[in-house]
């Protein structure tokens, strides 16, 4: 054990991903005295603009959106008591197939080794004990999420000093429940038919393949408030409609698959820091 504080680093694609994916663990580990570092790779410029204006519509200015989302991200970090926020500020690449994918300076167009070199500097600076990012499909196929996985795994390979590495995931049992709640709250959510389902990347994992289940229900209110800090984004409004209690029931346990481990901690585990303290 060193005199360095135990450190969690979460690498996310956009402002607001820290809240939905890892708001619970960021809040919980901060409360336990663990240093938390959030790396947000893009500026979120392809998000909704003021008044819900969508990218490509008149009045949508990516720079204005990015500035607004930077403020929202800072507010979310205050709620979650994130110790250090690092923004790589690549241009948001938009959803797969959008012209923004190919724009110069977009995260998707950035060579992996370049993004990884910047992240490797942060790994050397903070020396996290635990790094969390997305799976190779970016959880749901968004190019910036895929790229976040790629630069993270490349940066970890360059630095080889992080004991535990995780990808966020969702148990399939929960995805079903998620669909039910979506319908209950009137979201435009149809179960994909068989042909659509075959086209879609598989989201989440069978429950038995999940290595790590972290109970963050105690921090559901903070996670909700962090997401509320990003209320300019249409997809977050759905979650906010649920209210704190239902939101916490649905989103209170955060799940991960452990992809690198030097500790030998047995799985399934209920703590990202199992074997480290």
Q: What residues make contact with Zn ion under the rule CB under 5 A?
A: 13-14, 17
CB of 79: closest distance to Zn ion in angstroms? Answer: 18
Phi, psi of 85 (to 5 degrees): -110, 125
Alpha carbons 122 and 14: distance in angstroms, whole number: 18
CB of 230: closest distance to Zn ion in angstroms? Answer: 11
CB of 63: closest distance to Zn ion in angstroms? Answer: 19
CB of 269: closest distance to Zn ion in angstroms? Answer: 26
Task: Tell me the residue nearest to Zn ion as measured from the CB.
Answer: 14
E-strand spans in 46-142? 84-90, 130-133
CB within 8 Å of 198: residues ≥ 6 apart: none
CB of 120: closest distance to Zn ion in angstroms? Answer: 22
In eight-state DSSP terms, residue 187 is: -
Euclidean distance between the first and the last CA atom of the chain, given in angstroms as a whole number? 8
Burial 216-252 (b: 16+ CB within 10 A, else e): beebbebbbbbbbbbebbeebbebeebeeebbbebbb
Longest CA pairwise span in the chain (Å)? 56
Please, which residue, 17 or 48, has the CB nearer to Zn ion?
17
CB-hemisphere CA count at 13 Å for 237?
A: 9
Please, which residue, 134 or 224, has the CB nearer to Zn ion?
134
C-alpha closest to that of 6 among 126, 117, 121: 126
Please, which residue, 80 or 274, has the CB nearer to Zn ion?
80
CB of 13: closest distance to Zn ion in angstroms? Answer: 4
Please, which residue, 14 or 164, has the CB nearer to Zn ion?
14
Please, which residue, 45 or 271, has the CB nearer to Zn ion?
45
């Amino acid at each position: 054990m060193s005199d360095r504080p135990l450190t969690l680093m979460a690498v996310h694609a956009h402002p607001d991903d820290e809240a939905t994916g890892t708001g619970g663990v960021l809040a919980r580990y901060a409360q336990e005295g663990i240093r938390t570092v959030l790396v947000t790779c893009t500026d979120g410029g392809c998000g909704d603009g003021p008044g819900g204006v969508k990218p490509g519509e008149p009045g949508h200015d990516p720079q204005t959106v990015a500035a607004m989302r930077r403020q929202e991200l800072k507010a979310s970090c205050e709620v979650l008591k994130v110790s250090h926020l690092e923004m790589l500020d690549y241009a948001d690449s938009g959803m797969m197939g959008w012209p923004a994918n190919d724009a110069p300076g977009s995260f998707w167009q950035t060579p992996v080794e370049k993004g990884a070199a910047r992240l490797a500097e942060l790994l050397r600076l903070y020396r996290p004990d635990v790094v969390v990012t997305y799976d190779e499909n970016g959880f749901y196929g968004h190019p910036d999420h895929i790229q976040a996985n790629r630069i993270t795994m490349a940066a970890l390979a360059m630095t080889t000093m992080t004991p535990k590495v995780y990808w966020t995931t969702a148990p399939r049992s929960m995805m079903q429940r998620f669909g039910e709640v979506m319908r209950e709250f009137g979201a435009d959510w149809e179960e994909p038919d068989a042909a659509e389902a075959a086209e879609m990347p598989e989201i989440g994992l069978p429950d038995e393949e999940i290595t790590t289940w972290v109970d963050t229900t105690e921090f559901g209110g903070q996670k909700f408030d962090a997401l509320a800090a990003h209320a300019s984004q249409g997809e977050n409004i759905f979650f906010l409609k649920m209210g704190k209690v239902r939101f916490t029931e649905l989103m209170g346990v955060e799940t991960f698959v452990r992809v690198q481990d030097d500790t030998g901690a047995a799985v399934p585990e209920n703590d990202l820091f199992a074997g480290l303290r």
